[in-house]
Amino acid sequence: MAVETAREVAAISQVAVQDPSFLDGWFSGWCAQHVATLVRKARREGGLLDEELDFVREVGAIRAADAFPLEALLHSLRVGHRVLWKRMVREAELSPSGVEAVVWLTAQSLDYVDAVSMAMGGAYLERQAVLQADADRARRDLLEEVLAGQFAGRPDAAARAAAFGFEPDARQLVVALAAATAAGGAARSGPSPALIAATLERLIRPSCREPFVVVRDDEAVGVLPAKHDPVPTLQAVGKELAAQAGIVLAVGISLPCRGLAEVPRGYEEAFQALRSARAGGGIADLRATRIFDHLTAHADRVAPRLIPERVRAAVGDGAEESSLVATLEAYLAEDLNVPRAAARLYVHPNTVRYRLARLEELTGRDTRAFWDLVELVTAVRVLASRD
C-alpha cells in the first residue's frame, strides 16, 4: 500500500523521478512514516510530539539545500493528504460506522497536515537563510579580495571565479547602487542597501543566471555581464523601490571591465559615478558620459577658485542668474542656434538674444567666442557640482 500511495502522490504532485527505485525505496518509506505518525497521533487524540516532526524537518532542510521550491514541497504534502483521504473514504463504504470514522479521521489528518507543513516550512526557511548567508559571505569575501588585489594570485582563483559564473576575460560592468541623499546631504533612513541588493538580484535574474550582488557599507554593488545592458533593469529597480519603500535610487555604472582583474578599476568608476547621481537620484552611466561633463562634475578644490568673481556672481542662485544659466544651457544644447534655443525654452528668439547679451554684460565674456564660451560653461558646471 505504501508503494502504491507513493506512486499516486508522485504522479499527482508531478514529482520528477529518474530512478524507479526511488519510489519503491525512500519515497514509499517516507509516505509510510507519515501514515504511521498520523495513526499514533490519532490514537492518543493529541498533538504531535516535537521529536515526531524531526523526519519532516530533515526533509525540509535537505530540499532547501537542493533548491527545491518550497511551494512544490508543501503541495506534495497536500496531495498526500488528499490521496490518503480518498482511500479512507473507499474503506468507509465497507463499514456501517465508516462515515463517522472518516469524519473523525479527517479532522485528525487536517491537524496533522497543518503541523507537518509548519515544521517542514520552518526547517526549509531556516536552512535557506543559512545557505543565503553563507552565499552572501562568500560573494562579499570574493569582492573584497578582488578589490584588494589579493584574488588573482590564489591557487583556487579560477575555480572560485567559475563557481560564481565568471568567465576568464569576459567583459563585466560594475554597478553601485544606494539611496539618494535627502536635502542637506543626509542619507535617507531605512535598510536600503540590503533591500536594494535583493531587488536588483531578483529583477536581474532573467538576463543573468547567477547575479553577483553584494552589500558593501551603505551600497549595493553588482558585477554583471556587459553583454546585457543593465539600464532597463536598474530603471525597474528604481521604480519598484520608489513605489514599495519610498527609496529614491541613485546608480553609478562603470565602463566595461575585462575579467575580474579590472573590477577594482570598475568599482572606482562606478563609485565615482554614484557620487554624481546621489544628490538627486537617477542613473549616472559612464558609458554615456562626455569627457567634459565628467571632468567638470569631479573638479578638484582649486577649480571653483579659478572662476572670476564677475562670472561667479552672474551664474549664482538669484532669479535673473537662474534664467541666464538656463538660456546658456539651451543655447549650447541647440549648437548655438538662437531660434532653436528659443523654441526649447518656449520664449521669443529676441528674449534669448537679450539674455545672452545680459550675460555678456555681467561676465565680460563673449558668448560667440570659443574660449569665453568654454569658460562660462565650465564655471556653470563646476559650481553646479558643488551644490
Question: Is the per-residue pLDDT at 151 higher than 90?
Answer: no
pLDDT of residue 249: 94
Alpha-carbon 118 to chain mean position: 29
Question: Is the per-residue pLDDT at 308 higher than 60?
Answer: yes
On whether the 302-385 domain is CATH 1.10.260.40, my answer is no
- The DSSP call for residue 47 is P
For the chain, the average pLDDT equals 83
Q: To which residue does cell 520552518 refer?
A: 122
- The pLDDT tens digits for 121-143 are 888 888 888 877 777 788 888 88
Residues 233 and 253: their CA atoms lie apart, in Å, by: 13
Indicate the pLDDT class of residue 320, thresholds 50, 70 and 90.
Answer: low
Identity at 55, one-letter amino acid code: F
Residue scoring higher pLDDT (91 or 382) = 382
Once rounded to an integer, what is the mean pLDDT over residues 214-225?
Answer: 91
- The pLDDT tens digits for 369-382 are 999 999 999 998 88
Calculate the alpha carbon distances from 293 to 6, 31, 43, 377, 379 in Å: 67, 67, 79, 10, 12
Residues 27 and 4: their CA atoms lie apart, in Å, by: 11
Long-range contacts of 45-53, Cβ-Cβ distance < 8 Å, separation of 24 or more: 45/108, 47/111, 47/115, 48/112, 48/115, 48/116, 53/115, 53/116, 53/119
Domain 171-289, what architecture? Answer: 2-Layer Sandwich (3.30)
- Do 188 and 248 touch, CB atoms closer than 8 A? yes
Calculate the alpha carbon distances from 7 to 23, 79, 83, 169, 273 in Å: 6, 12, 11, 49, 58
Once rounded to an integer, what is the mean pLDDT over residues 153-167?
Answer: 82
Q: Where do the structural domains in the chain lie, given as residue ranges?
A: 2-134, 171-289, 302-385
Indicate the pLDDT class of residue 181, thresholds 50, 70 and 90.
Answer: confident
pLDDT of residue 326: 92
Q: Which fold has domain 2-134?
A: Globin-like (1.10.490)
Asked if the domains at 2-134 and 302-385 fall in one CATH topology, the answer is no
Residues 322 and 100: their CA atoms lie apart, in Å, by: 85
- Do 219 and 231 touch, CB atoms closer than 8 A? no
Once rounded to an integer, what is the mean pLDDT over residues 36-44?
Answer: 82
| Rg of the Cα atoms in the chain | 32
CB atoms within 10 A of CB 3: 15
pLDDT of residue 178: 94
pLDDT of residue 75: 84
Indicate the pLDDT class of residue 12, thresholds 50, 70 and 90.
Answer: very low
- Do 155 and 196 touch, CB atoms closer than 8 A? no
pLDDT of residue 351: 94
Question: Is the per-residue pLDDT at 36 higher than 50?
Answer: yes
pLDDT of residue 21: 52
pLDDT of residue 190: 53
Residue scoring higher pLDDT (91 or 183) = 91
SS3 268: helix
- Of 133-137, 141-145, 159-163, 276-280, the one with minimum mean pLDDT is 133-137
